[in-house]
Amino acid sequence: MTQRKWLRRAICLSLCLILAFSAMVAWTIHRSGDPAYKIPATEHTVNDITRLNVTHVGREIQPTRLEEITTALRESDTPVSIGGGRFSQGGQIAYPESLHVDMRHYNKVISINTASNEIRVQAGATWRQIEEALEPYNLAIRIMQTYSNFTVGGSLSVNVHGRYIGEGALVRSVRSIQMVLADGSVVEASPDQHADIFYGAIGGYGGLGIITEATLSVVPNEKVEQQHKFMPTSEYASFFKNNIRSNHDVVFHNADLYPPDFTETNSVSWVRTNKPLTDTERLLPTNQTYRFQPWVIDRIAGSDTGKWLRQNFIDPLYFKRDRVFWRSREASYDVAELAPSRHDDVVYGLREFFVPVAHFNDFVGVMRKQFSEHNVNVVNVSIRHAFPDPGTLLAWSRQEVFAFVVYYQQGTDVESRNQVRTWTQALNQSAIDLGGAYYLPYQVFETNAQFHAAYPRANEFLALKQKLDPKNRFRNRLWDAHYLADAQELEEARTNTRQYYRGEEQTFLTIPEWYLVFNPKELADFLAAGKNPSDFPYMASLNEYWTQYDRVRVLTAGRYPANPQYLTMLRVIGISTTVEYMLKTAYESTIGRLTSWIGGTDTAEDHLIAQAQRAYSDLIYDKAWYEFSFLHWVKKIWLDTPFFEKNFTRKFERKLLFTAEFTFKAGYASLIGWASHTAYTPSDSFIYSTATVPEQSTALPATVKVIARKNEKTILAIPRWGGFTRDIPNLANAGIDFKDIAGNSRIALSIIGPASQSFVVASGHKLFNSSLVSRPDLQRQVWIVPVNKLGSTLREIQQQKAMTLEHIYDY
């Protein structure tokens, strides 16, 4: 009875102690860190709607006058990238370290001519702004996309299309454009004047210059009535031919193919009518909050049940209602209605394939097979029709085509992106084999051969670019992939190299992780200098860890695709380090301090612990911590140090402490090692880089391998972790310059130097300072540098004797 009582008391006491300690750990983490950290002003990034293409630009201008554009071009010689509404999805709007011209404020309506039914606008104007300007004249836009958020300049450069019947690409409604070329000169281009520029720039993705103004034809606004018909997909092509194609009363038309089988189709037309309006709004109100539509899209993407419910309940109910609207109202939708309700590790993407009308059913079959084979989560496939393009160099409709607009959900991690690349290339090829093409404003996943097959006049376009933009100033990811002769060849080698691509956000996220390598090294240095372990600032180390954690979260959140796996790992190692360091602090400041006061710190055990700490800190530069042989050192402390000697108290206390700590760590390491091998596929021990390796450069370090080579461009495999920081400076010294590392254009590095001096890394931007907790005389600075300037940056660091490179954070 008494025994049981004691047992109960002991359990209660232990639970209370565990709870109290957990509360202290939580409180310590809460009190640590830097929640007020703000992204430095120099962190100037541009991204598109998918958030998959974050790009750091050198400078950004938001012109409102033509001279600002011409002057910016004349007075700089950097690459130039152009952004409109930023709804393209593959980095078409940005280029690393470029002068980014954000056209959204260059958006005035210049004139409306009701006699000739045309409007002159600045290229940053959105369709919505134009619709509002046309309203008083009862006019409507002739061709545009389904949504009204896009800019005219972006739409012209993509040569977009909408749901209009009897039309096709936007170029059909363009009378002329004004362009600013690479040298800052201004030209007016139309089918009769500078026709090469007109047909090159429309659909030219900003590769020839900046479109500053456009004259577009407009049409009378009118009433349209929605009519729809459910039918088997196999009947759609002939239904379209007999009822829609030549029906001059149909204004808008599209058909939705229901996933996952695509055997049923809903054909939806908007037909001219004199019936009374069912909704008198002339344009949809702006700034509406959309909750229902995104919710429905998430449900459709969420499961086959969601897809079934849409096909069998939601749509039949929705299309039951009579709808008679103004044409402009039907063209004033807001992209916000598609906004996903969650913003974590999935995004909604678009892909589009153009297929000659005769091959509609063939493509449906191929598409169904590819989607099922690759497990693609398709939300909708919308069919549009287009008549041939009148002559743009990058025409996607060289003949009459059906467009298959695929709206799907994908993961944001590198593996998911590679999966999208695989099915995209397969469907691109099918469309090409059927005499069609694929669309260019989405993630740039096509091969160079596919680009030229789908766009057979591409070489004429590239020759025109060479003539108008000889220094290749107008750049973006699309032109980077197809303008430079060797780019695609190496791209294929990159795609075939497993784990070539890594998320750029990981250069930031590895910073706190690496702190748990640098801090043990600080402890090893501290002990090697004969200092008392009780004096090591464990709590300041914890604060530093959580400070870095807070900062990298701010630097990545919202700007890069979410990386919950990495953040969870940082939280797990942060919490376990907090527990360890708090226990150490409690122990070292009581028992440790007492034994060192009695017996000093010059015992054989103290020395052996210092050696063990050094061995551990050396290993974790290149291997996972759980690979350290903790038990080997436990054995050593009992076998290699005399048992009876002076300062016995300190010796014995250190033996016991070390044995307890390292034995526990040995068990924990086995557990974590086992869990890591079970949960994760083994990570590649190389980081890959595309670099310029001159023929005459000295031999590469033995640890670095060549994977592929074309002229001077070479794909290198460089050891990861500590080896990366050792090899990269050697490569830089051999004159090698890096084009990308792991597919990224920026990389973080840290330098160490005297706290009393200030340092400047010319081509980088400082992210923050970080303390070396046991060395107030030193400071650590964390910088972010463009990968293409990494070589020169490292050479610069070597020349500034006062600072040394600590680490390059290899994603």
Ligand X SMILES: Cc1cc2nc3c(=O)[nH]c(=O)nc-3n(C[C@H](O)[C@H](O)[C@H](O)COP(=O)(O)OP(=O)(O)OC[C@H]3O[C@@H](n4cnc5c(N)ncnc54)[C@H](O)[C@@H]3O)c2cc1C
Which residues in this chain contact ligand X in the complex, by CB under 6 A?
A: 49, 82-88, 92-93, 103, 123, 145-147, 150-151, 153-155, 157-158, 160-162, 205-206, 210-211, 335, 338, 350, 441, 476
DSSP per-residue codes, 17-76: HHHHHHHHHHHHHHHSS-TT----TT--EE--TTS---EE-SEEE--SSHHHHHHHHHT-
Of the candidates 568, 519, 510, 508, which has an alpha carbon nearest to the alpha carbon of residue 543?
519
Of the candidates 101, 132, 106, which has an alpha carbon nearest to the alpha carbon of residue 119?
132
Of the candidates 503, 523, 476, which has an alpha carbon nearest to the alpha carbon of residue 418?
503
Least Cβ distance, residue 533 to ligand X (angstroms): 58
Least Cβ distance, residue 161 to ligand X (angstroms): 5
Distance (Å) of CA 97 to CA 506, 688, 737: 20, 22, 16
Least Cβ distance, residue 177 to ligand X (angstroms): 9
Least Cβ distance, residue 478 to ligand X (angstroms): 6
Distance CA 98, CA 80 (A): 5
Residues sharing a CB contact under 8 Å with residue 419, sequence separation 6 or more, in sequence order: 374, 410
- Region class of 342: left (phi > 0), else alpha (psi between -120 and 50), else beta: beta
Least Cβ distance, residue 401 to ligand X (angstroms): 13
Distance CA 349, CA 190 (A): 34
Q: Is residue 70 a contact partner of residue 180, using CB atoms and an 8 Å limit? A: yes
- Which is it for the CA torsion 587, 591, 596, 599, positive or negative? negative
SS3 of residue 369 by DSSP? helix
Which residue, 442 or 626, has its beta carbon nearer to ligand X?
Answer: 442
Least Cβ distance, residue 205 to ligand X (angstroms): 4
Which residue, 145 or 603, has its beta carbon nearer to ligand X?
Answer: 145
Least Cβ distance, residue 439 to ligand X (angstroms): 7
Angle CA(713)–CA(714)–CA(715) in degrees, nearest 5? 135
Least Cβ distance, residue 68 to ligand X (angstroms): 13
Which residue, 745 or 781, has its beta carbon nearer to ligand X?
Answer: 745
Which residue, 189 or 657, has its beta carbon nearer to ligand X?
Answer: 189
Which residue, 129 or 267, has its beta carbon nearer to ligand X?
Answer: 129
Least Cβ distance, residue 576 to ligand X (angstroms): 42
Q: Is residue 768 a contact partner of residue 552, using CB atoms and an 8 Å limit? A: no
Which residue, 69 or 634, has its beta carbon nearer to ligand X?
Answer: 69
Of the candidates 717, 782, 718, 778, which has an alpha carbon nearest to the alpha carbon of residue 746?
782
Q: Which residue is closest to ligand X by CB?
A: 154
Least Cβ distance, residue 180 to ligand X (angstroms): 9
Angle CA(270)–CA(274)–CA(279) in degrees, nearest 5? 65
Which residue, 79 or 153, has its beta carbon nearer to ligand X?
Answer: 153
Structural tokens at position 147: 């949504």
Which residue, 257 or 687, has its beta carbon nearer to ligand X?
Answer: 257
Least Cβ distance, residue 376 to ligand X (angstroms): 18
Which residue, 155 or 603, has its beta carbon nearer to ligand X?
Answer: 155
Least Cβ distance, residue 217 to ligand X (angstroms): 18
Residue count of the chain: 811
Which residue, 157 or 617, has its beta carbon nearer to ligand X?
Answer: 157
Q: Which amino acid is at 728?
A: I
Q: Residue 764, Cα to own-chain centre: how many angstroms?
A: 21
Helix 604-619 × helix 648-679 angle, to 10°: 20
Which residue, 399 or 629, has its beta carbon nearer to ligand X?
Answer: 399
Which residue, 128 or 655, has its beta carbon nearer to ligand X?
Answer: 128
Least Cβ distance, residue 391 to ligand X (angstroms): 18
Least Cβ distance, residue 661 to ligand X (angstroms): 55
SS3 of residue 771 by DSSP? strand
Least Cβ distance, residue 474 to ligand X (angstroms): 8
Least Cβ distance, residue 159 to ligand X (angstroms): 8
Structural tokens at position 800: 């500034």
Least Cβ distance, residue 315 to ligand X (angstroms): 19
Distance (Å) of CA 502 to CA 497, 551, 553, 563, 686: 12, 21, 18, 11, 11
Which residue, 187 or 540, has its beta carbon nearer to ligand X?
Answer: 187
Helical spans, DSSP H, in 531-647: 538-556, 564-587, 593-599, 604-619, 630-639
Which helix (H) or strand (E) segment is 452 a member of? helix 448-454
Residues sharing a CB contact under 8 Å with residue 503, sequence separation 6 or more, in sequence order: 413, 414, 560, 561, 563, 811
Which residue, 408 or 518, has its beta carbon nearer to ligand X?
Answer: 408
Distance CA 347, CA 404 (A): 20
Q: Is residue 161 a contact partner of residue 170, using CB atoms and an 8 Å limit? A: yes
Which residue, 79 or 753, has its beta carbon nearer to ligand X?
Answer: 79
Of the candidates 736, 206, 688, 691, which has an alpha carbon nearest to the alpha carbon of residue 486?
691
Of the candidates 256, 257, 440, which has an alpha carbon nearest to the alpha carbon of residue 365?
257
Distance CA 447, CA 469 (A): 24
Which residue, 86 or 368, has its beta carbon nearer to ligand X?
Answer: 86
